[in-house]
Amino acid sequence: MNLTLIDWAIVVICLSVLFFGVRLSKSFVKSVVDFLSAGRTAGRYMITVSQGMAAIGAITIVGQWEMNYVAGFALRWWEFTMAVVLLIMTVSGWVIYRFRQTRALTIAQFLEVRYSRNFRIFAGIMAFVSGLLNFGIFPAVSARFIIYFCGFPLYFKLLGITVSTFPVVMASFLIISLYFVFSGGQIAVIITEFIQGVFSNFTFLIIIVICLFVVNWDQVFQAVITAPKDQSLINPYKTSAVPDFNFWYFLINVIGVIYVKLSWQGSQGFNSSAKSAHEAKMGEVLGNLRDIPKWLFLVFIPIVAYTVLHHPHFAGIAGQVNQTLGGVGTKAIQSQLRIPLVLSKILPVGVMGAFLAVMVMATIGTHNSYMHSWGSIFIQDIIMPFRKKPFEPQQHLKVLRYSILGVCIFIFLFSLFFPMTDYIFLYFAITAAIFVGGSGAVIIGGLYWKKGTTAAAWSALIVGCVISVTGIILQQIYPNFPINGQYFWGISMGVSTLVYIIVSLLSGKEDFNMDKMLHRGQYAIKEESVVVDKVPVKGLKMLGMGKEFTKGDKIIYLAAYSWTFLWVIVFIIGTIMSFSGNVPDSSWMLFWKTFVMINLFVSLIVIVWFAIGGIKDFKDMLYRLKTMVRDHKDDGRVKTEADEAEKVQIKVDPSESVKG
């Protein structure tokens, strides 16, 4: 065992706080919208912190560490330019703003409104299958981390029978996650993810600071320069021989970030949880600042691990780690466990417990949001469209829970038997592309192009799926197939987009009514459109600051712009210097040292700021959930004009709750 009683006490306290949050959320689930979308009551800070934590499960941390151990600081250099893309997307409300305007509970509900019911069902099936395969390895990776980080035995005796620790650890986390989702749905997900997000970010900073005392910058430099030729970890212009995670991986990622916005449904509950489209947009903008401590942690810790394993000063620790890895099955699993094992050797008492608490909460949190998402999608987008009669509220909540239970059982069995042979992120890319390879064109075209047609949507989604499935089959038949999962994803995006455009132009007869779908003009919903400034758009407003913006909103936008363009300027200067002459590795090392220190300081400011904002949002969210009027016909079905004419709002006593 690698942990002390103090470490375990920290883990128990953190889990107890989460259980309290779940109990609190349980009394507020009074409608389907509450269970699926937190009643559409979440503010910007709750949204951005919670969604950020949902996207950083234990498997994501391990996957990022895998990638950054190979690519080092160099890949982060190219991501400076990606920040511009992200900023433009967020300040413009790319996709998320228009999707929230539709008031759809899921992407597939929007697809029915925009295209057809049959297409909604098909898209729902595709998203569900893709998501299950992608989600299937989460419990396995998380369980292996816990076992090796804590130093648990691989087997133990129970009533005289030898039992494998692996399935027991997986089952334990899945049962806790299942309880959380069953109790409070998306309300529980948002509350617990927010608590986890604040605690995790503080822990990330503490671990980084401690690692800076364990290794010094001279040792880091001496270690990273031992990397093979053209596989530099610090000079981005000497990385032509880096396998898999190179410039082309990054370029496809940039295109993918734009293309798949809201396509991936793993945390789809957050897409419709904001209390307004403007709050959803502001949550996206804040997301650019929220990720500063997370990205620093994910990039710097692999560099520390590389130093420990390659510098003579740490030969003893490296020997212990390599000896443990030698007893692990495949190279893929060894790659996942390398950095966790290093941390288990260098973190002090207390910090070990805090980090384990982060990983435990991250595991539970990601399982929460993913089980909620895929279980909801199966009911909302596959089962419901087949039903002529809607579910009663209690019945609806019950079948949602049954579906989530089914997802839980599947991923447990999949993780238990699936042989992991590739990097986590390459597996993610190709399994996700089954749906997102074609869905990006369908969603973007549906929200922004009135000439997009149903035939084009069918064609694009099918083409994207065929390309991705072909890639999976080829990689299973030929283990060393030269095209990896990332490249197959890029091919599917390009071909699907071209197919969508061509088929739309060939099959389009009349333009789609975008105003009605987006609730604009004569279809506007007054309470969801708060106009703060009626002055025509000019000056700073051209940067994306619309009529709903307060002074505080504008300051946030300018802060996001300034931070992003600071690093873009650095990228431009560094690129010019690199092409003008040979920049020595010592200069690159000095730059990355400065980068880490600046980000450490800014991270502390961001964490405190977002914690305060989130607490205020939390109070407002609970008040709204306690006093709001529920509409039990707002359940994710696409309503006809006749349905709307009969729509009746039912007020629910705050002391009552729907029991499933």
Q: Find tokens 């980068």 and name the residue.
A: 595
Residues 304 and 211: beta-carbon distance below 8 Å? yes
Which pLDDT score is estimated for 197?
86
C-alpha span between 143 and 59 (Å, rounded): 10
The one-letter code for the residue type at 276 is S
| Span of 117-121, 496-500, 599-603 with lowest mean pLDDT | 117-121
Instruction: Read off the pLDDT of each residue in 499-504 and give the average, rounded to a whole number.
Output: 94
Instruction: Read off the pLDDT of each residue in 637-649 and give the average, rounded to a whole number.
Output: 50
- For residue 443, what is the enclosing H or E element? helix 424-448
Residues 151 and 340: beta-carbon distance below 8 Å? no
Instruction: Read off the pLDDT of each residue in 441-461 and give the average, rounded to a whole number.
Output: 92
Instruction: Read off the pLDDT of each residue in 289-305 and give the average, rounded to a whole number.
Output: 89
Average pLDDT, the chain: 81
Q: Nearest CA to 190 among 399, 12, 18?
A: 18
Q: What are phi and psi of 42, to 5 degrees?
A: -80, 140
What contacts 435, CB < 8 A, 6 or more positions away? 123, 126, 127, 129, 130, 131, 263, 264, 265, 461, 464, 465
The one-letter code for the residue type at 189 is V
Q: Find tokens 């401590």 and name the residue.
A: 293
pLDDT(224) > 80: yes
Angle at 490 (CA atoms; ends 484, 491), nearest 5 degrees: 90
Q: Nearest CA to 191 among 54, 30, 22?
A: 22
Torsion of CA 514, 516, 521, 526, to 10 degrees: -130
β-bridge mates for residue 157, sequence order: 162
Q: Nearest CA to 341 among 62, 55, 56, 59?
A: 62
pLDDT(646) > 70: no
| pLDDT band, residue 376 (cuts 50/70/90) | confident
* Three-state secondary structure call for residue 187: helix
C-alpha span between 164 and 152 (Å, rounded): 11
How many residues belong to the chain? 660
Query: CATH: 1.10.287.70, 3.90.1150.10, 3.40.50.720, 1.20.1730.10. Which one for 5-421+555-626?
Result: 1.20.1730.10
Interval 25-78: pLDDT, tens: 877 877 777 777 777 888 888 888 888 777 777 778 888 888 888 888 887 887
Q: Report CA Rg, the chain.
A: 25
| Span of 76-90, 280-294, 550-564, 577-591 with lowest mean pLDDT | 76-90
Q: Counting beta carbons within 10 angstroms of the beta carbon of residue 282, is it exposed (0 to 12), middle (13 to 18) or buried (19 or more)?
A: buried
Q: Counting beta carbons within 10 angstroms of the beta carbon of residue 513, is it exposed (0 to 12), middle (13 to 18) or buried (19 or more)?
A: exposed
Residues 225 and 390: beta-carbon distance below 8 Å? no
* Three-state secondary structure call for residue 650: strand
Domain ranges across the chain: 5-421+555-626
| pLDDT band, residue 455 (cuts 50/70/90) | very high
- Per DSSP, the chain holds a count of helices (H) and strands (E) of 24, 2
